[in-house]
Amino acid sequence: MEQISNIAGGDTTKETMASLGLICEKDIHEQRLKIDSFIASPFRRSMNSLVERAQATAQSQGKIQNSHSTTQFRMTQIVNFTLFYGLGSVSLKLGF
């Protein structure tokens, strides 16, 4: 092997190997970046989807709470109306 390196100019083999090593390291780095972005992209979409679902759920819960409060208020009005106008027997039959 030493004879071949001497004929080819000595250090050129080392320089070639070093430059090939740098090229491989650069390629490995680029491939890692591609893999990272490939993995991160679905994760990011998944997280965005979860945030959207959580926001929609919070809005729905607010609407349900508002509807519940309105229903309770209306039921109280019905009971008061039936008691005020002497329809207490009707309210008892309805379960109020």
- Is pLDDT larger for residue 90 or for residue 18? 18
pLDDT band at 92 (very low <50, low <70, confident <90, very high): low
- % of the chain surpassing 70 pLDDT: 78
Q: pLDDT tens digits for 11-25?
A: 688 888 888 888 888
Question: Contact 82/96 with Cβ under 8 angstroms?
Answer: yes
Question: Contact 75/95 with Cβ under 8 angstroms?
Answer: no
HSE, side-chain direction, 13 A CA sphere, residue 63: 6
Query: Is this prediction's pTM over 0.85?
Result: no
SS3 call for 85 = coil
Question: Contact 53/70 with Cβ under 8 angstroms?
Answer: no
Judged by phi (left if over 0) then psi (alpha if -120 to 50, else beta), residue 9 lies in left
